[in-house]
Amino acid sequence: MPIRPPHRSGDDPHPDLAPVAFLLGTWRGEGTGEYPTVARFGYAEEVRVGHVGGRFLTYAQRTWAPDTGLPMHAEVGYLRPGGPGRVELVVVQPSGITEVDEGTVVGTSITVSSRAVGHTSTAKEVTAVTRSFVLTGDSLTVSLSMAAVGHPLTGHLTAVLRRTN
């Protein structure tokens, strides 16, 4: 008999995920990027947040050029409750970067900062990251600041997304 992966939809999220369950869904929208080393740019973004019954959310993001549709960035990871009011986010980027981020969830606002950033030998050096996910009405504002290639923590990306499902 062929090996088949289990059916995974239909379960309720783990009860410990209640404080962060507002992130569940597929979100799309547009954003703006800037950094001291690059010209200001626009992008389209999709963020997918799901669960598989365990005590974590799955996170997958990708961006593309609004005009050409060409892929720009992508990243994947997991979001974990870290105790009352606390959130842990682990993220990996195809540029060879890993992040261990920790912070708070207050209402529908999550803010995390890196406690460790890893990078492969050929990756650009990113030394710190701060991320936020803030739901206001129907709009999820996703922001990222980073310290990289010698610059201190500086605003880099902000996008406003809406749930598509």
R_g over Cα of the chain: 16
What is the C-alpha separation between 130 and 102, in angstroms, rounded?
Answer: 9
Pick the stretch among 17-25, 79-87, 128-136, 146-154 that binds a second copy (CB under 8 A).
Answer: 79-87
- 145 lies in the site for a second copy, by CB under 8 A: no
Q: How far apart are CA 110 and CA 89, in angstroms?
A: 10
User: Length of the chain, please?
Assistant: 165
Name which of 39 and 70 has its Cβ closer to a second copy. Answer: 70
| Cα–Cα dist 53/24, whole Å | 13
Nearer to a second copy, 34 or 46 (CB): 46
DSSP 153: S
Shortest Cβ distance from residue 143 to a second copy (Å)? 18
Could you tell me which stretch among 16-24, 33-41, 52-60, 142-150 binds a second copy (CB under 8 A)?
52-60
Among 15-23, 27-35, 132-140, 145-153, which window interacts with a second copy (CB under 8 A)? Answer: 27-35
Q: Which is nearer to a second copy, 156 or 159 (CB)?
A: 159
Could you say whether residue 33 binds a second copy (CB under 8 A)? no
**Distance from the Cα of residue 4 to its chain's centroid:** 29
| Residue 52 binds a second copy (CB under 8 A) | yes
- Of residues 79, 73, 78, 86, the one with CA closest to residue 31: 73
How would DSSP label each residue in 43-104?
Answer: EEEEEEEE--SSSSEEEEEEEE-TTT--EEEEEEEEEEE-STTEEEEEEEETTTEEEEEEEE
The region of 15-23, 34-42, 80-88, 129-137 touching a second copy under the rule CB under 8 A is 80-88
Residues that bind a second copy (CB under 8 A): 2-8, 28-30, 44, 46, 52-54, 56, 58, 60, 62, 64, 66, 69-71, 74, 76-78, 80, 82-83, 88, 90-94, 96-100, 102, 115-116, 118-123, 164
